[in-house]
A = this chain, B = another copy of it.
Amino acid sequence: MARSSAGESVLTRAVRILEVFDPDNVAIPLGVIAEQACLPLSTTSRLVDELVAHGLLRRDEHRRVRIGLRLWELASRASPTRDLRDAAMPFLEDLHAVVGHHVQLGVLEDDEVLFIERLSNPGAVINVTRIAGRLPLHASSSGLVLLANASPGLQDQILRRPLTSYTANTISDPRTLRAVLAEIRQTGVAVCPGFIHDDALGIAVPLKDAGGRVVAALSVIVPCTDDPMSHIPALQAAAHGIRRELGRPVVPAPPER
């Protein structure tokens, strides 16, 4: 065990077990879960059994442990981003039909951008984003749009840290980053050619709610050879449409059984 788990609550341990799962690790043997969560095997086994009994985890045919559908259901049916996603989805589909490649919706979570939706074509340009995946604020077009509109406190915090370079084009100098953020606030668009991968161009615009508050970033990922100007108007039009949709009075939903 890498660190002691004495005194930790059951919930804390259960959360540590859930945190072991990610897009690259969806089916994990019990021993690996114990190791990664830094918990004794017996504790892990007992907690996994209980999480399986509740459907929050499940065991597959190879006795590996996976996230259970019940956990996804509990998290999704009252999802905090449901209204935003519902309002945005028709515009994301339209944008995707025109632009192709990748269209995505990201929100600020902690000090990163968390992607809550992504539409992709098979064979589209490389894109490291995944639904429920995260990217650092300074390196992605969505992240830069969110950072440019974030609190001065968060901006200072990010600017004080080392800024990881993914390619020769990633902004890693705080002074340059500060200037870019000011420019994004003025132009309302972030254009990031090859910031995360040499072949991919990210373009993002802010999504505002009816009150004018930036609640998300709408972005497209296209080949670096594309002219950004050929995508920006479509992105901006979609952002306007979503803002209008978010401002609509809510029609009561039909009763569920």
Contacts and interface: CB of A to CB of B under 8 A. Distances in A.
Interface of A: 9-12, 14-15, 18-19, 21-26, 47, 50-51, 54, 56, 58, 66-82, 89-90, 93, 96-97, 107, 109, 114, 116, 119-122, 126, 128, 130-133, 135-136, 164, 166, 197, 245, 253-257
Given A15-B54, A54-B15, A256-B24, A132 B72 contact: yes
Contacts of A24: 253, 256
Contact of A130 (B23, B114, B128, B256): B256
Of A14, A22, A71, A135, most B-chain CB atoms within 10 Å: A71
B128 A256 contact: yes
Given A67-B75, A69-B107, 20 more contacts: A9-B50, A10-B10, A11-B47, A11-B50, A11-B54, A15-B74, A18-B74, A21-B74, A22-B256, A23-B77, A23-B78, A24-B256, A26-B78, A26-B82, A69-B114, A75-B75, A76-B131, A77-B132, A89-B119, A128-B257
A94 to B, nearest CB: 9
A158 B36 CA distance: 42
Contacts of A77: 21-23, 130-133
A119 B133 contact: no
B80 A68 contact: yes
Contacts of A12: 50, 54
23 contacts: A15-B54, A19-B74, A23-B78, A23-B82, A23-B256, A24-B253, A58-B80, A66-B80, A68-B80, A69-B107, A69-B114, A72-B75, A72-B76, A72-B79, A76-B131, A77-B130, A89-B119, A90-B120, A93-B96, A122-B245, A133-B256, A164-B257, A166-B257
Nearest to A121: B90
